[in-house]
Chain A
């Protein structure tokens, strides 16, 4: 679809989505000052996704066997290794950077262009994911407000900048053939959407999908920033000892 056709369509969807419910107190959360706008974008994304990426990804999951989808996923993981190597190095994580280089070399050669994760399976070297958003955080750039990006979903100001830079660390960005470049990017997005399916399905069942997505995104980014070992802060139980003698009745009430 050409851009001229796409814009009115996007505007129409935006109008449809314009009636997203905004709860009282929206924007009071210091991590999410733009909540009112973000919720509108979220409603827009939900509608666009429901009619485009989601059904295509559902069909892809249904039609393409799991093994083939795993190979596709592995190829894109492998194409992310140069970015992992660069960002690990930029963050001063020398050993992890070498792991990424090692994985890229082994999987590109012995793993037939990354289809098979030989380095992970045989070499026992799991992927050391890093992106430019994390690098900016390590360099001391504040995370900035949470932002729901049109089409792309949850992000923060800093992560959005990281995503933009990240495209230039993708090997696909340097493909000379436009069909390879954009075709590859499209398959990459399809693969990503299919991988996200369990998460987005869970969001559909949430009482407040927007908040669930925001909190889940921010927590998992903090986790990634600490390479899986964020400082543990335990939620306080303000009703300690109050209803310990009144557990849920065992009898099922339907």
Chain B
């Protein structure tokens, strides 16, 4: 409602939008991982903000966004195999491809609803953190939105062949890969990789039917 948008909030929003557009450096996956995550997440927010089709969850726009913006920044093979768990060892090359494809579809479905919530958020590195060291680290960020509590978003990033890649995301204390692993691993353990693939296919084919 308009009366909530008092001067302070409006000014803050204007400054935030302005500054994130201004400070938009091209994310450099070979440089400092914290700076890379900072640039990358603000660039993604700016991309979503400026694309109405994407914000409304238009299937083709979301697929294009995921292929062009998200996939190059993540190590998706690693995310999938960590989510599948021990039975990945017995999976054939075709099954591994299929599991990645289905996991990707599932994630797109579950999280594309969040696209519509993108408005004037910006991402900052979490304050008072220890500078992470090594090639497998956690970058802690806060998503800020005027008038709303901060959202904690942590990214586990790993140096893969000289470039940083996101391999897990933690939203308010919940690691995504662990959460899916606790769903997938028992299915794969009792019904095998083919059973897991079947369960994923069945779930995905039910989308849009309710």
Q: Which A positions have Cβ atoms within 8 angstroms of B?
A: 23-25, 65-68, 70-71, 116-117, 120-122, 126-127, 198, 201-202, 204-208, 211-212, 214-216, 219-220, 222-224, 228, 230, 232, 234-235, 237-239, 242-244, 246-250, 252-253
Contacts and interface: CB of A to CB of B under 8 A. Distances in A.
Contacts of A228: 152, 172-173
A224 B123 CA distance: 21
B110 interface: yes
24 contacts: A23-B187, A70-B1, A117-B147, A198-B113, A198-B117, A205-B106, A207-B184, A207-B199, A211-B182, A215-B182, A216-B179, A223-B173, A228-B152, A235-B82, A235-B175, A235-B177, A237-B167, A239-B78, A242-B81, A244-B77, A244-B160, A247-B77, A248-B97, A250-B67
Interface stretch (B16-24, B37-45, B47-55, B86-94): B86-94
A211 B199 CA distance: 14
Contact of A232 (B96, B138, B174): B138
Contact of B174 (A211, A219, A252): A219
A238 B86 contact: yes
A242 B77 CA distance: 10
Contact of A219 (B93, B101, B152, B173): B173
A239 B81 contact: yes
Given A219-B175, A223-B172, A237-B82, A70 B4 contact: yes
B77 A243 contact: yes
Contacts of B8: 121-122
Binding site of A, secondary structure by majority: helix, strand, loop or mixed? Answer: loop
B9 interface: yes
Interface string B124-163: 0000000000001010000000110110100010001100
Central interface residue in B93, B174, B184, by most chain A CB within 10 Å: B174
Contact of B147 (A120, A212, A246, A252): A120
A212 B183 contact: yes
A191 to B, nearest CB: 15
Contacts, number: 132
- Classify chain B: how many residues form its interface, as a range: 35 or more
Contacts of B177: 235
Contacts of B200: 207
B120 interface: no
Nearest to B182: A215
Contacts of A70: 1, 4, 147
B76 interface: yes
B173 A230 contact: yes
B30 interface: no
Contact of A206 (B1, B88, B110): B110
Contacts of A120: 147, 149
A214 B114 CA distance: 21
Given A211-B183, A237-B81, A216 B174 contact: yes
